[in-house]
Every structure is written in structure tokens, then in C-alpha cells.
């Protein structure tokens, strides 16, 4: 397992973990038991491509711990996917589920591929073959995948269909983030972004920030675009945005409806005529009220943490801030960090609701879904702020402490088998 530490994202997750474990005074034995992923699967499999060739792909699924129930976490289709990155994301999922009180351990999966360069038929072939390889590993009571970078409702539908064909009955509870017609939950697609927007609004009210909030977002996929649309609906002004194609900036405000229409038509943000192009790194350092990283890990680093000019850092992405950057932000004290394991937890919370609805075959209204989501987010934000205030630690350390402590207690109570 030590080899995982050569991956920078896994090393970062472990560094965060050890800092919090020391703060909590967790004994070395407990740390070793809860740090390493409990189960990791690496698969390689062939896919028939449209040009008649056969291409091999490598995929992973990691289940971090099973102490609290089945494991839960997204599937990422991205060329940079590695076992180390997936293991780090699975670990963060564990702390997140425990923090918000869900009966799950953390998991994550992924396939190293470029979905934007594959046809629908190739993507279906890849998804079905990858799912086939995971069959002994996943299931409604074992491990429940969901969408993440590069995957969506259609991919979840193919996963659910492949699993159901294998077991011989329809098993909607094997994945979440499915289309509503086949057992998905109302509100799941927007849940992560709406959760981000809800928390930003709450925190801005607590900090008594004047309106309108000026926002910058990195990443305009599911999480980034829904967060922006929701915040703009609430009166915020979007002044900067980026995706893989480029970054845009207009301090006078970017019309969100025009931007979405442009993205819909061209498939990218680059070239949007109503804002100026800007370097993606520089965009993060522009003055704004709310900065939302909603793309990949390790984008707020020791190189730019000192230069950030936001009041709220709302971490839509998983692991966007490195431990070195965290220390700089802690010293600065002028930026309120909504840590990833709270900020983007709307996705897994509504995934949990979807799983519960599938298990009961009883479906909720959208209102019931969002009321229940906002109750959990509000209560968790309150607990984190209380812990942070009483123990005089950052919101990140507070959030991680609450999550890690619950997992450590569960492991302790269950003991070591046999």
C-alpha cells in the first residue's frame, strides 16, 4: 500500500488525515486501520472502437472502509485517473459521508479515458465492460457508484442496466444519479451545485456580506454550472468562469443565460464574445466575493493562496486546496473556507435519498428532497462553525475532525475481526 504515497493526491489526503489525527490524538494503531483503502480493484478490459480496432482501457474501484454500511462514491472518466487519485477521493468520501451522517463508507472509481473524444457507442461499450468487471464488487448493499467528472445520468443508466442484466432483475439501487424515469431522484442532477449555492448564501449572511455577491467559478460542468445558475438566480453576479477550453473575465458581469446558450451551442466557453479571455491561473486571483473551484484537485496551492482576493472560498471540487495552501489561508484569516467535504456534499446526500427511495420503491417530491438536503447542510455547517470556534481551528480541520472521529469510533466499536 505504501506505493500509493507516490501519488501526489493520495499523499495530500494522507497529510490532511495525519494532521487531523494528531489534533484528535488518535493512536497510531487506529490511524493505520482507518487510513488505507480496505479494498482496491484494478481492471483492464478491451473495447471495440468505431474504426474496427480494439483498445484496452484501465479502470479502478476503491472502497475505503465498510464500517458504517455499504460504500458510496462517484465514477470518473478522465485521462488523468490513477489508483492513487481514486484512493484519495475514496478517503475523502468516507470523511464526507460520516460528517453529514450518512450510513456509508467512502468509495470512488474511474477509467483513464477521454470521453469527449469517444462516440456514444464507444462510451456505452466502455461503461458496460467496466461495469461487468466490477460486478462482484458492487451492489445496492455493497457499493453504490454515482456520477463524477466525465460521467452523467446516461452512464449511470448503462451501469444499472448492465448490473441488472447480470443479476436477472431490475436493481435501481446499484447506482445513484440515474435518470428519474428508471428510479433516479428528483433533484439529484442539481443537488451538488444547489448545495454549494445554499451554503454560500448562508455563509454570506453570517458574514453580513453586502449584495450582490460577485462570483468566480473554475469548471463549468455539472457542479460549476448549477452553482452559478442558482447563485445568479438569487441575485449574484458572475464575473469570471473557466473550463478546459479557456477562462473568461468581465468585471461588469457575464450574462449567465447567454453563456449557457453559447456553451450549449459550441460545447465550450472559449470564444464567448461578452467577456475577455484571461489566463486560468490569473482568474483565480481576481478580486471577488466568492471563489468556487469546481474542476479538479490541487488548484489552490502555495503558489496562489497568498494572492487570492475572495472573501469566501467555496470548494465545489474535491480536494482543490493543498495542505500548504491551507496553512497560508489559516494565517491570513480573511477568507472563509467552506471545505469540500461539506461544500459539495449535496451530491452524496441526495444520492443517499435516491438509494433510500429505490430501496423502498417510494418516491419523494422535489420539495421534500431539497427541504431534507438543506436541513442537513444547515445543521452540519452549524456543527463545523461551533467546533471551529470552540477548538480554535480552521473550518477544514473542524469538518475533517467531525468526519474522521465518527469513522474511528465506528471502527473501534466493531473491533478487529476475527
CB 177 → ligand NAD: shortest distance, Å? 7
Integer Cα distance of 145 and 76 in angstroms: 10
| Residue of 108, 178, 201, 405 with catalytic role | 108
CB 145 → ligand NAD: shortest distance, Å? 12
In this structure, are residues 403 and 339 in contact, taking their beta carbons and an 8 Å threshold? no
CB 217 → ligand NAD: shortest distance, Å? 9
Cα separations (Å) of 297 from 317, 334, 387?
Answer: 7, 22, 26
Which residue, 138, 70, 141, 145, is CA-closest to 105?
70
Integer Cα distance of 408 and 387 in angstroms: 18
Integer Cα distance of 32 and 34 in angstroms: 6
Q: Which is nearer to ligand NAD, 4 or 294 (CB)?
A: 294
Integer Cα distance of 311 and 300 in angstroms: 15
Give the DSSP H or E segment for 284.
helix 280-284
Q: Nearest 5°: CA angle at 275, between 273 and 281?
A: 125
Three-state DSSP class for residue 89: helix
Integer Cα distance of 36 and 117 in angstroms: 34
What are the cell numbers at 45?
Answer: 478490459
Three-state DSSP class for residue 114: coil
Q: Which residues, listed in sequence order, are joined to residue 111 by a DSSP beta bridge?
A: 59, 77
Cα separations (Å) of 360 from 11, 142, 146, 237, 356?
Answer: 40, 17, 19, 41, 6
For binding to ligand NAD (CB under 6 A), which residues are involved? Answer: 147-150, 192, 218-224, 242-244, 280, 294-296, 316-318, 344, 347
Q: Nearest 5°: CA angle at 402, between 358 and 146?
A: 30
CB 246 → ligand NAD: shortest distance, Å? 8
Query: Which residue's CB atom is positioned nearest to ligand NAD?
Result: 221
Q: Which is nearer to ligand NAD, 16 or 30 (CB)?
A: 16
DSSP state of 142: T
> Strand 214-218 vs strand 290-293: parallel, antiparallel, or unpaired?
parallel
In this structure, are residues 92 and 318 in contact, taking their beta carbons and an 8 Å threshold? yes
Q: Which is nearer to ligand NAD, 30 or 322 (CB)?
A: 322
CB 333 → ligand NAD: shortest distance, Å? 26
Integer Cα distance of 297 and 318 in angstroms: 6
Q: Which is nearer to ligand NAD, 26 or 109 (CB)?
A: 109
Q: Which is nearer to ligand NAD, 223 or 408 (CB)?
A: 223
CB 178 → ligand NAD: shortest distance, Å? 13
| Whether residue 392 lies in the annotated active site | no
What are the cell numbers at 195?
Answer: 448545495
Integer Cα distance of 168 and 66 in angstroms: 26
Kindly report the number of other CB atoms within 10 A of residue 31's CB atom: 18
Q: Which is nearer to ligand NAD, 4 or 247 (CB)?
A: 247
CB 369 → ligand NAD: shortest distance, Å? 14
What are the cell numbers at 1?
Answer: 500500500
Q: Which is nearer to ligand NAD, 203 or 217 (CB)?
A: 217
Task: At 315, give phi and psi (nearest 5°).
Answer: -85, 90
Q: Which is nearer to ligand NAD, 100 or 408 (CB)?
A: 100
CB 412 → ligand NAD: shortest distance, Å? 28
Catalytic residue IDs: 108
Amino acid at each position: 500500500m505504501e506505493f500509493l504515497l507516490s501519488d501526489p493526491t493520495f499523499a495530500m489526503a494522507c497529510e490532511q488525515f495525519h494532521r487531523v489525527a494528531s489534533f484528535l490524538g488518535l493512536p497510531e494503531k487506529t490511524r493505520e486501520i482507518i487510513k488505507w483503502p480496505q479494498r482496491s480493484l484494478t481492471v483492464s478490459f478491451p473495447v471495440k472502437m468505431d474504426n474496427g480496432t480494439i483498445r484496452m482501457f484501465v479502470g479502478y474501484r476503491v472502497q475505503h472502509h465498510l464500517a458504517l454500511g455499504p460504500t458510496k462514491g462517484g465514477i470518473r472518466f478522465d485521462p488523468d485517473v490513477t489508483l492513487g487519485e481514486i484512493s484519495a477521493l475514496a478517503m475523502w468520501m468516507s470523511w464526507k459521508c460520516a460528517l453529514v451522517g450518512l450510513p456509508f463508507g467512502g468509495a470512488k472509481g474511474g477509467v483513464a479515458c477521454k470521453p469527449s473524444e469517444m462516440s456514444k457507442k464507444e462510451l456505452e461499450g466502455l461503461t458496460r465492460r467496466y461495469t461487468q468487471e466490477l460486478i462482484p464488487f458492487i451492489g445496492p448493499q455493497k457499493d453504490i457508484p454515482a456520477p463524477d467528472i466525465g460521467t452523467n445520468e446516461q452512464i449511470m443508466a448503462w451501469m444499472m442496466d448492465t448490473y441488472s442484466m447480470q443479476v436477472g432483475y431490475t436493481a435501481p439501487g446499484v447506482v445513484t444519479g440515474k435518470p428519474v424515469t428508471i428510479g433516479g431522484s428528483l433533484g439529484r442532477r442539481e443537488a451538488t451545485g444547489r448545495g454549494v449555492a445554499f451554503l454560500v448564501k448562508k455563509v454570506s449572511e453570517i458574514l453580513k456580506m453586502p449584495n450582490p455577491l460577485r462570483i468566480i467559478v473554475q469548471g463549468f460542468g455539472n457542479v460549476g454550472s448549477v452553482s452559478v445558475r442558482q447563485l445568479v438566480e438569487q441575485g449574484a453576479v458572475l464575473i469570471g468562469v473557466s473550463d478546459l477550453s479557456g477562462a473568461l473575465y468581465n468585471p461588469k458581469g457575464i450574462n449567465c443565460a447567454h453563456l449557457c446558450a453559447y456553451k450549449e451551442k459550441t460545447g465550450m466557453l472559449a470564444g464567448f464574445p461578452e467577456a475577455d479571455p484571461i489566463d486560468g491561473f490569473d482568474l483565480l486571483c481576481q478580486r471577488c466575493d466568492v471563489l468556487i473551484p469546481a474542476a479538479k484537485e490541487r488548484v489552490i496551492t502555495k503558489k496562489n493562496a497568498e494572492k487570492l482576493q475572495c472573501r469566501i472560498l467555496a470548494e465545489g471540487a474535491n480536494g482543490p486546496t493543498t495542505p500548504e495552501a491551507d496553512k497560508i489561508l489559516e494565517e491570513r484569516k480573511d477568507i472563509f473556507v467552506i471545505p469540500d467535504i461539506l461544500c459539495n456534499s449535496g451530491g452524496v446526500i441526495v444520492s443517499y435519498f435516491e438509494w433510500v427511495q429505490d430501496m423502498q420503491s417510494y418516491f419523494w417530491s422535489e420539495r421534500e428532497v431539497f427541504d431534507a438536503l438543506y436541513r442537513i447542510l444547515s445543521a452540519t455547517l452549524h456543527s463545523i462553525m461551533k467546533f471551529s470556534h470552540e477548538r480554535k481551528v480552521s473550518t477544514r480541520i473542524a469538518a475533517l475532525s467531525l468526519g474522521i472521529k465518527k469513522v474511528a469510533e465506528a471502527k473501534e466499536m466493531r473491533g478487529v475481526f476475527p
